[in-house]
Each structure stands twice: as C-alpha cells, then as structure tokens.
Structure 1
Amino acid sequence: MLGFASVSLGTGRKGVSNSISKVQRSRVFMAKQIEVVRGADEATINKFGCRSWPVWSSETGTFPWEYSENERCLLIDGNVTVTPEGGEPVSFGAGDMVTFPAGMKCMWDVKKAVNKHYLFF
C-alpha cells in the first residue's frame, strides 16, 4: 500500500506530494528543495510510470541549470552531484528517484555519464 508524504520546500508552504511506501520514507533525503528517494522500489516506479518517460543523457561535466517547472526523474545509470544556489550539494545515482522544484537554480556536476527518465509537471 502506498501512502502520501508531503514535503516542505523551505519556503514555509507545502510542496510536491509524493506517493511513497512507508519503507521508502526512511530512504527519502531532502536538501534545499531537492527530494531524493534512494533506490526507488518497483511499486513506486510503476505508480509514477517512470519507464514510459523520455530519456535524457549527459556525459561527464559541469553546467548550470534552472528549473522552469517541477521535474521528477529516475536515474537509469550514472552519478551526479547537484548544488542548489545557496545550498548544500546533493549526490544521487542509478536507481534513485529525484524531484526538483520549479524555480530552483543549481549547478549540475555529472561525475559518471548519466541516463535518466524524466517528467516535467
């Protein structure tokens, strides 16, 4: 059974609600507006339909990014560290589901070439 977890995005208002199992909640890591579900389970992946989303790829390198919409992604492979403007770095890799809020400015550091399913919402 999947439950709902509401997260605060650091602005004092409620942010994106995500359906994650009770077991998953212990593996959710948040830092400065980024939510990471470490090793997302099949039930969560299937609930969101992640494998039907488009795929984005990047070689190693560093680049700035600004999110005009919320994005949720599932890393297929690779390793990344994202540093929100004014925040602490957040690292994630293959199997992790990551949600970025609209309006966030950050720096991407792709440490190992990345493939990810992604969805803007």
Structure 2
Amino acid sequence: MEPNFDLVFAPAIPTDVHGVKILRQPSDTKLVELGVASWPIRWESIPRKFPWKFKKTETMYFLEGKVKVTIVEQHKEEVALELIAGDLVVIPKGMTVIVDVTEAVKKHYYRDLEIVKSPSKS
C-alpha cells in the first residue's frame, strides 16, 4: 500500500523533485503526529558512496549526518539532492540513485507502510 502523502506532509508543502518529497525540518508536532520517535533506528552509515534502487517506497527521517542523493533517470539529466539531519523524505518505489554519505548518518525509515496520524486528544 502506497503511503498517503497528504497525511504524511499535511499541512506543510514538501519540496517535490522527480517524485522525491522532502520536508525540511518538520515541527516537533509533526514528528509526534507521525510517531517518528517510535520508529527504530534502522540504518547507520559511515561516509561512503554506492548505487541503490528502491524496491519499495521509503519514508525516512534523518537523525544525524548528511547525504547527497543523485537521482539516476534514463533519458533525463541527473538531479542531486542534499539530505541533512532533520529532513523527512519519501523516495518512491523503483527510483535508482547514487548515495554519497558525506557525514556519518543515522536514520529511521519505513518501507511501503501508510503512516497514520495519531488520534487527536480532546
């Protein structure tokens, strides 16, 4: 099931680059609403560079570090994005990238899961 991006990013408007959605420095309220603190730390890396193809849509939140992600698309110019600590990012299924970890990274992520808003407390 594809994530419901309206729920992930509402009411903020994310940057959208070739289908990659980036919300820079979301509010603490948004992070609590998404339950990010309960996501396990699933990926850590020292500086290195490698190719990667996303087999599933991935929603991630960067805790530490800096990564340059170059989107590799056939018949189009490559696009490079810099993702830093505090960014909330969704990369779609099927996207091929070159990952260049420029500062050691820690991130939480989900793959192909719908993120559901926490119920409002009245």
TM band (smaller chain): 0.7 to 0.9
Which contiguous aligned blocks of 4+ residues in structure 1 show a shift greater than 6 angstroms? Answer: none
Q: 2:19 aligns with which of 33, 47, 56?
A: 33
Please give the root-mean-square deviation of Cα atoms over the aligned residues, in Å: 1.6
Higher share of residues assigned strand: 1
Structure 2 unaligned spans of 5+: 113-122
TM-score by structure 2 length? 0.78
Report matched runs for 1:70-81 at 5 Å.
70-81=57-68
Report matched runs for 1:1-121 at 5 Å.
16-19=4-7, 20-22=9-11, 24-25=12-13, 28-55=14-41, 56-86=43-73, 87-121=78-112
Residue 46 of structure 1: how far off its partner (Å):
1.6
Larger relative contact order (Cα-Cα within 8 Å, sequence gap ≥ 6)? 2
**Distance 1:105-1:16 versus aligned 2 partners, 3 A rule:** farther
CA distance in 2, matches of 1:98, 1:32: 13
Residue 16 of structure 1: how far off its partner (Å):
5.0
Aligned residues: 104
Residue 106 of structure 1: how far off its partner (Å):
0.5
Secondary structure of the residue aligned to 1:89 is strand
Give the match for residue 117 of structure 2.
none
Percent identical: 28
**Distance 1:59-1:29 versus aligned 2 partners, 3 A rule:** same
